Chain A
Amino acid sequence: MKKIDWFFSLFLIIVGLTCLLFSANAFGHESFLAFGRIFFKVCMWVACPVILFGSLYLWFHYRNKE
C-alpha cells in the first residue's frame, strides 16, 4: 500500500470515529475538552487490541520464518 492510501484510509477512520463520538456525546451537552478526552480514551481502546493483535501477528510471522 502506498502512503497516500494509508493516509486516506486513516483519515476516513478518524472522521468516522469523530462523528460516532460526537453523536454519542451530543445529548450530554458536554464541552469540547470533555469530548477530546473521551475521543482520546476511545482511540486508546481501539489502539490496544490493534497493537495486541499486530504484535501477535508479527511474532507468529517471524517465528514461522525462522
Chain B
Amino acid sequence: MSINRIGLKLGAAVIVLMIVILVSSGLAVDRLFTNFYDAQMKDNTQEIAAHFATMAESNDTSSQSMIRAFAKFSDVKVFWLNDEGRILTLPGEKQPNLSFIRSRDTRRLLSGHSVAFQNHDVHGNRFYVVGKPIQIGKTTGSAIYIVSSMKKIDDSLQRLRNLLVLSGLGAFFLALGMILIMSKLLSRPLLRMQQMTDKMAKGNWDTRLQVGSRDEIGMLGHSINDLAASLQRYRDTRRAFFSNISHELRTPVTYLQGYAKVLTDGLVDSDKEKKQYLSIIYQESVRLEHLINDLFDLSKMEEGQIKLNMEWMDLKITIKTTVQKVKLKAESKRLSLQLDLQDQVPLIRGDRKRMEQVLLNLLENAIRYTEKGSVLVRLTGKKEATVLSVSDTGIGIPKEELPYIFERFYRVEKSRAREYGGTGLGLSIVKKYVEMQDGTVRVDSQMGVGTTFTLIFTHEKKQRRDGMK
C-alpha cells in the first residue's frame, strides 16, 4: 500500500483531530457517569438512613429487628451507638472492626448532628457512611451508622470505562478506514496533475488530463491542460518559424553566392550578362535586407519593445503619401491605382509611420499579386468607425487558406513565391501593427476576382480610453 505524502498529511490531521475529540468526549462521559452514580447512591443511602432513624425514634422493641431486616434487603450495614458512643451488638455477635468511625464524628452525632462521608478499606473498596442521631424527646439518646458499599457501582463504572475505550477504538478504526478512502480520492487528481506536469517538464506537451469535476481541482486541471496546449502551440510555431526563417534566409544567400562566384570566376560572356547577374545580386540583397528588417520589427513587436508614437492623424494624408511611393510599381505593371477618399473623415489616433508601413505592405501585396486591372484604396468615415480598404483585381486567395494568411511566412502561392517576391512577413506585420493601434483587419477574397483587406478603427473605444486617461 503506497502512502502518498498529501494523503498522509490529510489523514494525520484528521486522525489527530479525532483523537482529541474522542479523548475529551470520553473523559466527559466518564465523569458524567461517575458523578451521576455517586450522587444517586448517596441520595439512596441518605434516604435509607433517614427512614431507619425515624423507625428507631419510635422506640419500639421490634424496630431494631425490623431495621436489621430492611438493611439486609437494602444491601447496607447498620451499626447502633449508645449514648456513650459504643457500638451495640446482638447477643453472640462479635464486636465489628469499625476503624472508619472517628470519635469526632461520634461526638458530633451525639450532639444531634448528622454526618456523611466516603471512605475506603485496605483493599481499595469504597463505601459511603451516613450517621444519624436518634432523638428521643428532645435529647439524643443514641445514633446509627449506615454503611453502603460502592463496590457494585465501581465495578459497573469500570465496565463502562472499558466499553467507552472499546467504542472509542471502534470510532477511531471507522474514521481511519474512511480517512484512507477520502485521502486517496482527494489526493488522486492532484497526484495525476503532478505526474502530468512532470511529463510536461520533460518536454512531453501532448499529454492531457482527464478532468471530471467542476470544483477548484477541476478548474486547476483545465488550466494545466490549457497551459500544455499553449506550450505545444508555442513549440510548433517556433519550430515552423525556425524552419521558415532558415529557408527564407538561405535562398537569397544561395543566389548571392552563386552569382558572385560566376562573376569572380569570370564565367560571363558579355557585359550584358554581367550586368544582369549584378542586378540579381542587388535585388537579392535588397530582399535580404527587407527580410531582416521585417524579422527585426516582428521580434520587437512580440517582445513588446515597440513603442508607438500615438497622435491624432488624418488617414487621407497617409494614404496619399503611401500611394505616391507605390505609384511607379503600379505603372510598371500597367495597373490603375485608384483612390476613393470620403471628404469628411474623422481623425484617428495612431502612429503615422507604422500606419504608412501597414498601407505600404497592403499596396505592395495588391500590386504583386495583380496582373491586370486595378488597385483601389477606399476610405470611409462612419459614425462608429473609420474604415480603410485596399482592393485588387488579382489572383485571389482560396477560402480555406484565409485563416492562415496572417501567420509568419505563410504563402498562398508556395511554388511561385520567388516569382512574386516578398518576405512572407508583410501581412503578419500588418495585423500586429493594426491591433497595436486598436484596429482590426478583415479579409474578403474570391479566387480569380480579387481580394479586399479592410482595416477598421472604431471611434467609441478610443474615445472611452481617452476619456479614462
Contacts and interface: CB of A to CB of B under 8 A. Distances in A.
Interface stretch (B165-173, B282-290, B435-443): B165-173
A19 B164 CA distance: 10
A23 interface: yes
A16 interface: yes
| Interface secondary structure of A, over-half rule | helix
A24 B167 contact: yes
Interface string B446-463: 000000000000000000
A33 interface: no
Residue with the greatest number of chain B CB neighbours at <10 A, chosen from A17, A20, A21: A20
A2 interface: yes
B166 A22 contact: yes
Given A5-B1, A12-B173, A27 B163 contact: yes
A59 interface: no
A1 B188 contact: yes
B416 to A, nearest CB: 50
Contacts of B21: none
Interface stretch (B123-131, B175-183, B344-352): B175-183
Interface residues of A, number: 25
A4 interface: yes
Interface in B334-352: none
B185 interface: yes
Nearest to B172: A16
Nearest to B178: A13
B68 interface: no
Contact of B169 (A6, A19, A26): A19
Interface in A1-55: 1-2, 4-6, 8-24, 26-27
Contact of B181 (A9, A14, A17, A20): A9
A13 B167 contact: no
Nearest to B212: A61
Contacts of B178: 9, 13
A16 B163 contact: no
Nearest to A10: B177
Given A16-B174, A19-B171, 14 more contacts: A2-B2, A4-B1, A5-B180, A8-B180, A12-B173, A17-B174, A19-B167, A19-B170, A20-B170, A20-B174, A23-B163, A24-B167, A26-B166, A27-B159
28 contacts: A1-B181, A2-B1, A4-B1, A5-B180, A8-B1, A8-B180, A9-B178, A9-B180, A11-B177, A12-B173, A12-B176, A12-B180, A13-B173, A13-B174, A13-B177, A14-B177, A15-B173, A15-B177, A16-B169, A16-B173, A16-B176, A16-B177, A19-B166, A20-B170, A23-B167, A26-B163, A27-B159, A61-B212
The 10 closest A-B pairs by CB, nearest first: A19-B170, A16-B174, A12-B177, A16-B173, A13-B177, A20-B170, A23-B167, A23-B163, A9-B180, A23-B166
